[in-house]
Structure 1
Amino acid sequence: MPRVESKNCYGCAACSLICPVNAIQMVENAEKFFVIQIDESKCINCGKCLQVCPLKFNHKNQVLTSYAGYSTDGSILKQSSSGGMFGSFAKYLFNSNTNVKVFAVKNDLGKVVYEICTDYRDLEQFYKSKYCQAFLNKAFYERLISAISNEAVCLIIGTPCVLSGIKNTLLAQKAKLTSCIFVDLVCHGVMSQSVYHTHLEECKKRWGGVVTQHYFRYKRAVTKDCPEGSHWNLYKVNNEIIIKKSDDDYYMQTYFADLAMRETCYCCQFTGTNRIGDITIGDFNNAHILCSQFDGLRSVSLVLVNTDKGQRFIDECNNNTVNLQPVDIKLLQKFNTPLTAPIKRPFQRSLFYTFYNSLGLSRTVSLLNYKYYLRKIIVAFGGKKLLLKIKALLGRSYIDIE
C-alpha cells in the first residue's frame, strides 16, 4: 500500500494526526526541518496518511477577484509587515462575533509555532512575517477541531502547503467548515528554525547580550533614506534597540538569496493562481509606484479572493477594517514571483548546510551570497544606474535589484 514519504514532506503534520495506530511522528531531519518518521513496527499500511497529504490531495480554488489595499486601523498598519490584512480580518471577526478563534503563527524568540488567539488584545503577538517554518503538533489540530465542534468562527492562516494539510485533516475528520475562513499566504519559502536559532546565538556573541525582542520587517518613520515599508530588522539587546537593514542582516541575506529553503519549496506545487484558501494575502511593495490610488502609500497588501465565502467576507470587511481597490492580477503576478512559479534552487543550496554545520551562519552567508557583495561593489563604483545597466544586459538571475 502506498504511503507518505519523508523526502517529499511539507511538515504539516496532518498524517501524524490521522494515523490510527500512531505510527507517524514529526522529527527533525539532518537540516533540522520537520519531517515524518514512520515506525515500521506499528504501520498497518492503511493508506490514510496519503488521504491528508498536501502532496497527493489539495483542494485548490481559482482566483475570482484581485485587490490591493491596507488596514484602516493605523495601529495595525504600523505593527504589520505590509498592509495589515491579517490583523484587520481578525479585528472584524472579533468585533462581529462572540465566539471567535484565530489560528496563526506566533514567534516567541526562535520558537515559531502555530497557536490559537481568543482575545483581540493578544492579536499583536501574531503580527509580522516569521521567515522560518512553524511547528505543528497534534495539540494544535485537536484544539482546532474542538473549536469547530463548538461552532466557533475560525480564522485559519498559514502557508498554502500547511493550510492544505490542515484542510485535508478537517475534511477527513468530517468537520463542518462552514464557519471556517482559510487564508493562505503568498509564500516565498521557509527556512528551518535551527538557522534562526543560530542567528540569534551569533547576535548574542556579536552584541554581548541576549536578544530579548526581535521583529522582522520593522517599519521606521518616513525619511529620505528610510522610507516606510523598507525592510528593517529590530533587535532588543541589554535594553538597547538595534535596527539593521535586512540587506545587511545575515539571516535575511540567507532568506532572500534562497540559500537554505526547504527542498520542497524549490518545486512547490502551491505557487500560481490556483489557491488553497478562501482568501490569499501577500505583499504588494510597488503599489505606490504602479497604482495611482496608492500614491505615497508603501504599506500595501495584495488580496486574492478565491471562493464565494471569501468574497462575502471581503465585502463585509471592505470600507470597514480594510480599504481595498480592484487591481489586475497580472500586475500582482509581475511583482510577486510565487504567484507564477516556485523559487529557483541556487547552486549554493547544495553547499549551504555543509558549510553551515562547521562555520555557522554569518561566515557561510559571507562565502556563498556572492550576489549581495557583487551588488555592493558595483554600487560603490558606479551607483545604481550602473547596476541597472548590468541587470539589463545579464538578466535578473545574475544580479537582483533590491
Structure 2
Amino acid sequence: TTQWVFLDTIKAGTDRVITYDLTVPRSELLASVRLPQQFCISGIFQAKVPDIVVEVGGESCVVVNDCLSVLEAVAHMIPAKAPGEEDRIDLRLSESITIDQLIRAGELWRTERAVVGTCGERVDLETLKLITAYAEACVPIDRPLPDMPAANVYAHRTILAPIPCEGVVIGFYDPSGQPLGNKFTVKVEITSDADVMGVGLDEDLPVGWRVTPLQNDGFIYKANGNQWALLDTLRAGDMRTIIYEVEVPPTTTVEAPPPEGCKVLSSEQIVGRVDTGQPCVEVEVGGQNRVDLTDCLSVIVAISRWDVARDAIDLSLSDKITFRQVQRAIAFWLQDEPVPRTCGDGKVTYELMKEIIARWLTGTPICEPLPGAAPETCEGR
C-alpha cells in the first residue's frame, strides 16, 4: 500500500496532481507468473472534514508482457542502418510510425523475418496494411485511425497466354531442351473512387506454378504466398498495374481433349482478392481467371508455328501464316499426313486448307476471325 497525505487545506476549485513511477520486476523475477498478465491498481481518496471517501477513477490496469505486439515494435524500432547491424527497440520513441519504420516493416514482411522485440512474431499482410495506414495518417498507434469516406475498390485481371486461342501448351521444347509455351502473363489493374491507405493483393495459383514479377508499380512483392503490398495511399481515380509472368511446370499432366465436337481444354483457376487498411475494403479480383492447358495443338495453330527450314514446330513464331507454311500445309493435305503434335487425327482437311490460304492472303492472324466470316460454332468454348 502506498499513501500520500496533504498537510494543508485543498481549496475549492484547485487541483492537486500526484505523479509517480511504477517499476515492474524483471521478467526473470516474474517466472511464477505467466505473461502476458494484467495488473490493476485501486485507490481511495479520503478527507476528514468534510467526511469523504471516493474511489479514484480513470485508468486502473496495465498489461505486463515480455514481448511487444508487431505494431508496437515497429513504432519503437530503430531500423538497422548498415549490413550486419540488428534492429533495436527504444521504448522512449513516440507512438507514431515513421517512413523509415514503415519501409523496414515492408522489408521484414517481404523476407519473412521476425520483428525485434516480439518473441519471434512476423509481419503478415493484414498487419502491414494497418502499419501503412497509421504511417500515412500520421496517427499514433495508441489512437484510433480517422474515419475516411467509404471507397469502392476495383480490381481487374487480364491473362495473356502464349497462344491466345490455344492457351498454355505443355511438353514442347526448343532445340536446346528448354520448355516452350508453358509461360503466360497476368496483368492486374487496381483503382478506387476514394483515397485508400495500405493496399494488398493476394493471388492464389495452383501449387508448383512459379511467379516472376515484371511490373509492381509501387507495390512490394512477397514470393512466398504471391502477395503484393502498397506502402502508400492509392488516390481516388489513380490506377496501379501489376504484371507478372507465370511458369507452369513442363511435367504438368494435362487431360486429353475429347475426340469429337468442340475442343475442350483442361483448365486451372487463378483466384485473388484486393483489400485495404483504411478504410477497410475487400474485393475479389474480377476479369479473367481461367488458364487453359493443352499438350497438343490444333492443326491451324501448328501450321502457323511450323518452322519450314527445320520441318518442326517452333512456338516462338507469330500468329500469321506465311507462304512457305501454306506450301507445307498443302503437302500435309495432299499426302493425307497428320501434322505432328496436333490433337485428334491432326490432318489438314479441305475446308481447313481453304481457311489457311484465306488467312495467308488477307494477313489475318489465326486467333482473329476472317473478314466477313460468321462466328464459328465452337467460338468461346
Give the TM interval when normalised to the shorter protein: under 0.3
Q: Judging by fraction of residues, say which structure has more strand.
A: 2
**Which structure is larger by alpha-carbon Rg, 1 or 2?**
2
Scaled by the length of structure 2, the TM-score of the pair is 0.20
User: Structure with the greater relative contact order (CA < 8 A, sep ≥ 6): 1 or 2?
Assistant: 1
Scaled by the length of structure 1, the TM-score of the pair is 0.20
